[in-house]
């Protein structure tokens, strides 16, 4: 099984320091939905692992988060793509949970759900915490320059062997060319 784990904000959709609080604020990164569709057609299982502390902060409700994800799935379906599952941490940064990246809980949940080792499974994010959570379980880290990726790259401290590309579309082009 070809499995890929994607962060949401900054990888699939445009990010905002003020959070994505409604479906109207959710806008795909150009080419990201088409990239996921290409993965879907090639037989990949696409999974999302996303911190959504806006819920804990009271910036939106679970119903709103579900509506945002419904919009994302609908727009993706329009280009022939599919997300197999969405794993979300709804806690705030000070809640001390195990699921908020950089903690590995979301990735552990994914490994259990699919009954697989995540060793060398590609994980794409735009922040250091995305990459840190992924590498804890042996995922191959990929950083996009979209979203907060440029800031992350400038700060440095990336896990060893992190691959850096402009966006999800560029990554998928490379993966499928090498398939």
Domains of the chain: 3-162 (3.40.50.1000)
Q: How far apart are CA 100 and CA 105, in angstroms?
A: 7
Tell me the catalytic residues: 7, 9
Q: How far apart are CA 100 and CA 123, in angstroms?
A: 16
Beta strands in the chain (DSSP E): 3-6, 45-51, 85-89, 122-125, 140-144, 163-165
Task: Report pLDDT for 179.
Answer: 60
Contacts of 127 (CB under 8 A, 6+ apart): 7, 10, 101, 147, 148, 149, 152
Enter the DSSP assignment of 28.
Answer: B
Task: Report pLDDT for 178.
Answer: 79
Task: Report pLDDT for 1.
Answer: 79
Backbone angles phi, psi at 155, to 5 degrees: -70, -30
What is the pTM (predicted TM-score) of this model? Answer: 0.97
What averages of pLDDT result for each successive group of 10 residues across the chain (179 residues)?
96 96 98 98 98 96 98 98 98 94 98 97 98 97 97 97 98 90
What value does the mean pLDDT of the chain take? 97
Token pair 């979209």 in the structure block, residue: 146
Task: Report pLDDT for 38.
Answer: 98
Q: The dihedral of CA 39, 10, 87, 178: what is its sign?
A: positive
Do 2 and 135 touch, CB atoms closer than 8 A? no
């Amino acid at each position: 099984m070809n499995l890929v784990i994607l962060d949401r904000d900054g990888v699939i959709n445009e990010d905002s320091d003020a959070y994505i609080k409604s479906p109207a604020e959710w806008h795909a990164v150009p080419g990201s939905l088409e990239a996921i569709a290409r993965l879907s057609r090639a037989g990949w299982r696409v999974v999302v692992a996303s911190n959504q502390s806006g819920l804990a902060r009271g910036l939106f409700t679970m119903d709103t988060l579900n509506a945002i994800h419904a919009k994302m799935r609908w727009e993706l379906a329009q280009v022939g793509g599919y997300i197999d599952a969405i794993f979300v941490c709804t806690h705030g940064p000070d809640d001390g949970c195990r699921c908020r990246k950089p903690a590995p809980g979301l990735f552990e949940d994914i490994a259990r759900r699919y009954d697989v080792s995540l060793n060398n499974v590609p994980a794409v994010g735009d922040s250091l915490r995305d990459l840190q959570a992924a590498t804890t379980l042996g995922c191959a880290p990929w950083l996009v320059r979209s979203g907060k990726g440029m800031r992350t790259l400038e700060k440095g401290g990336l896990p060893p062997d992190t691959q850096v590309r402009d966006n999800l579309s560029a990554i998928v082009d490379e993966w499928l060319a090498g398939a």
